[in-house]
Chain A
Amino acid sequence: MHSIRILISQPTRLVLTIAGIALCIILMLFLLSVYHGVADGSVEYIRQNRADLWVLQRNAWNILRCSSILGTAHGLALRQIPDVHSVSAVLLLLSTVKNGDQMATIYLVGFEPQTGLGGPPHLVEGRSVLHDDEIVIDQSFAAKYHFKLRDVVKIQDDTLQIVGISAGTNAFVIQYAFVTLHRAQSLIGFPNIVTCYLVKARQGKDLIEVSKEIRKEIPNLEVYDHDTFLKNNIHEMESGFLPFIYTIAAIGVVVLTAILSLLLSVNILERRKDFAVMKTLGSPKGFLTFLIIKQALLLSLAGSITAVIFFFPMIEGIKKISPEVSAKTSVEQIMTVIFVAMVTSLLSSFISMQRLRRIYPLEAFS
C-alpha cells in the first residue's frame, strides 16, 4: 500500500509515466508481432510446400536473397533419375503490377498448375491458378490496392484476372503472387528458364540417397531437403530483419529504463526526508530497497496492462492504414515482453537506488 500511495500522490506524473512505459511495451510488442508476421509471411510458402527436395543452381541456398537460374534441360535430366517420382518447375521473379496510375512490386511465382507444387500455400478466397490469364494475389496486397476477386491486373502488357486471394504470402516488404509457369516465363521472355525444381521422390526412398543421386547425375546443382531449405530461408530472413528489430527493441528497453529510473529517482529525492527519517529510525537496508523495487514493479505492471489493452486496437488500426503490415501476436510474446519490462524495472530500481544510498540518517535532524 505504501508504494501505491507514494505513486498516486502525484497522479499526473503517474499517468504520464505509465503512458510512457506502455508506449515502450507497445513498441516492443509491435516489433515482435511484426517480426513473427514477417517470419511467417516470408517462409510460409516454403513451409507449406509438399516437395521432398528443392533443386537450385550451385551456391543458391535460399529463395529470398539468392539468384538461381536453371534450364528446362535440368528438369528433363531430373525426370530421368529412377528414384525421382515427379518434378515441378518454379520460376520466381520480381515484377511490377499496374493498377491505374499506381505501380506495385510483387514477388511473382510461376508454377505448374497440373502438379500444384509451388502454388499458393493458403487460399482465403477463390481458387488457385489454372490458366495463363489468371493470377492469385496476397490478401494484404489486395487490401492495400483494393483488388478483389475477378478484378483484372496488368503485368507489363498482359492482363490477368484475379481468381484467388492467398494468405501466408506477405513478406512485409513484398508480397507473393502466383501465375502459371508458362505466363511467368513469357513475362521475362525466356521460355526455357526456371528458378528451381521441386522434386517428389518415389515412396519409401531415402531422401539423402536421392539427393546424392541427383548431384551425381547432374553436377553444379544444390539439393536441399524440405527442413534444411526452410531453415536456410529462415536464417536468411532473420539475418536481414533481426538486427533491425533488435536495435529498435534495445532502444525501447533503454527508453523504458530511463523513464523508470527517472521517476523512481525523482520519487526518492522528493521523499528524501522520509527516507532519512526511516534510516534514523533503524530501517533495515532491505526495507527501503524493497520499497523502491515494489514501486518499479507496480509501474511496469500498470504499464504492461495498459499496453496490452491498447495494443490490439492499435494493430487493427495500423492494418487498416497499411494492410501489408502483417503482425502476429501470441500469448508467449506478450509474456516475454512483460517479463522484459519487469526485468527492466528491476534494473531501473537498482539504478535509482544510488540516490537512496546517498541519503544519510543525519538529514532527519537538519
Chain B
Amino acid sequence: MKIPETKRWIVQLDHVSKIFGANEHKTAAVRNISLTASLGELLVLLGPSGSGKTTLLTLIAGLLKPTSGHMSIFGRNIDLYPPKDLQALRARQIGFVFQTFLLIDSLTVIENAALVLQFTGKPKSDSQDHARRFLKQCQIEHLAQKFPAMLSQGEKQRVAVARALSNNPDLIIADEPTGSLETKQGLHIIRLLHEYAKELDRCVIVASHDIRIAELADRVLRMEDGALLDTCK
C-alpha cells in the first residue's frame, strides 16, 4: 500500500516568519515561508550569506520559535512541544552537521560519534559499539581513538556526519556542510547524506551557498533576504 504523500511529511511550515528585535531595530530573518520536507528527500536551501538559511534550519530544528505562521515537525505543532521534549526530539530524531564540524576537542572520534547516543540514555559502551558502525560507513573506523585535533578537515567532517547519523535520525539538518572542505571532499559528504536519505528513507535538509550541491538534491529552494525565491527539482 502506498503511503499518502502528506503522511511522509516530517517538516511542514505554513507562512512562517521570524523577526528579531523590536520597533525600528526589527529584522525579518525569515519571511512568510511555506514548505514541506518528506522522508526519502534531500532538500537543499540555496542562497548567499545572510539570506536566512541558518535561521530557517534552526526553526526546523525547534531551536527557535516562529514569530508568526504555523510549523509542525514530526506531525506535531512546534508550540505543543515542551522544552524537554524538544531536547529529546533533537537527541533521538534529528542529526546535525555544522560548517566548522564542531567536534568536541576533548573527546576522541568514537566518543564524539557516540555522544548523541549517550544523550538518549544509552550506556557508554553500547553507544560506542553502535557508533563504530557509522564510523565504518563513513570509512573512518581507523580514526576511532584519535582526537579531532589530529584529523584533516575532510576527516573531521566525516566524523561530524557519523555523529549526525549515529542516532539513526529521521531528519538531518546540515548547515553549510561543505563550506570548509575542498570540492571533492564536499561532494563526498553530500553523497553520504544523499545515500542516507535514499537508502534509509530519511529526510536531509542542507543549507548551502554552493550551487554544485544542487546536483544531488531532490529539490532546491532558493532563498534571498529571508524569503523563498523559487523551488526547482
* For the complex of A and B, 7 pairs with smallest distance between CB atoms: A282-B91, A282-B90, A5-B106, A277-B102, A282-B119, A274-B104, A6-B106
CA distance A364 to B160 in the complex (A): 13
The interface bits of chain B over 82-100 (1 if a CB of A lies within 8 angstroms of the residue's CB, else 0) are: 0000011111101010100
Write out the residue numbers on chain B whose beta carbons fall within 8 Å of the beta carbon of A271: 106
Given A282-B90, A283-B87, A362 and B58 touching (CB < 8 A)? Answer: yes
Extra pairs beyond A5-B107, A281-B163 (8, CB < 8 Å): A274-B106, A277-B104, A281-B115, A281-B116, A282-B87, A285-B87, A364-B98, A365-B58
Whole-angstrom CA separation of A121 from B175 in the bound complex: 81
23 contacts between A and B (CB under 8 A): A6-B106, A9-B105, A9-B106, A277-B104, A278-B104, A278-B119, A280-B61, A280-B63, A281-B90, A281-B115, A281-B116, A281-B163, A282-B92, A282-B94, A282-B116, A284-B87, A284-B88, A287-B119, A361-B63, A362-B63, A364-B98, A364-B102, A365-B175
A98 located at the interface, meaning its Cβ lies under 8 Å from any Cβ of chain B in the complex: no
Which residues on the A side are within 8 Å of B98 (C-beta)? 277, 364-365
The verdict on A273 contacting B87 (CB below 8 Å), with A280-B96, A282-B119, A365-B57 known, is no
Task: Kindly state the separation between the CA atoms of A364 and B111 in the bound complex, as whole angstroms.
Answer: 19
The smallest beta-carbon distance between A83 and chain B, in angstroms, is 76
Count of chain B residues near A, Cβ 8 A: 28
| A299, chain B: closest CB distance, angstroms | 16
Query: Given the complex of chains A and B, what is the CA–CA distance between A52 and B203 in angstroms?
Result: 90
Report how many residues on chain A are interfacial, defined by Cβ distance under 8 Å.
21
Interface 1/0 per residue, B52-67 and A, CB below 8 Å: 0010011001011000
| Residues of the A chain whose Cβ atoms lie less than 8 Å from the Cβ of B34 | none
Q: Which residues of B contact A (CB under 8 A)?
A: 54, 57-58, 61, 63-64, 87-92, 94, 96, 98, 102, 104-107, 111, 115-116, 118-120, 163, 175
Cα distance, A272 to B82, chains bound together (Å): 24
Q: In the assembled complex, which residues on chain A have CB atoms less than 8 Å from the CB atom of B63?
A: 280, 361-362, 365
Please name all residues of chain A whose beta carbon is closer than 8 Å to the beta carbon of B105 when the two chains form the complex: 9, 274
Residues of A214-259 contacting chain B, CB below 8 A? none
Q: Does A146 contact B (CB under 8 A)?
A: no
Q: How far is the CB of B212 from chain A (nearest CB, A)?
A: 22
**In the complex, how many angstroms separate the beta carbon of B13 from the nearest chain A beta carbon?**
18
Decide if A2 is an interface residue (CB 8 Å cutoff). Answer: yes
Closest CB of chain B to A13's CB: distance in Å?
A: 14
Q: What distance in Å separates the Cβ of B96 from its nearest Cβ neighbour in chain A?
A: 6
Is B106's CB under 8 angstroms from A2's CB? Answer: yes
A280 near B106 (CB under 8 angstroms)? no
Determine how close the nearest CB of chain A comes to the CB of B63; give it in whole angstroms. 5
Residue-wise interface mask of A (29-73) relative to B, using a CB-CB cutoff of 8 A (1 in contact, 0 not): 000000000000000000000000000000000000000000000
Q: Which residues of chain B are near A278, meaning CB under 8 Å?
A: 104, 115, 119
In the complex, what residue of chain A is closest to B61 when comparing beta carbons?
Answer: A280
A273 / chain B contacts, CB cutoff of 8 Å: 102
Residues of A with C-beta under 8 A to B92? 282
CB distance from A230 to the nearest CB of B (A): 57
CB distance from A11 to the nearest CB of B (A): 14
The minimal Cβ–Cβ distance linking A44 to chain B, given in whole angstroms, is 54
Judge whether A284 and B119 touch: CB under 8 Å.
yes
Q: Given the complex, which residues of B lie within 8 Å of A285, measured CB to CB?
A: 87
The interface residues of chain A lying within 8 Å CB-to-CB of B91 are 281-284
Which residue of A2, A280, A281 contacts B107 across the interface (Cβ within 8 Å)? A2
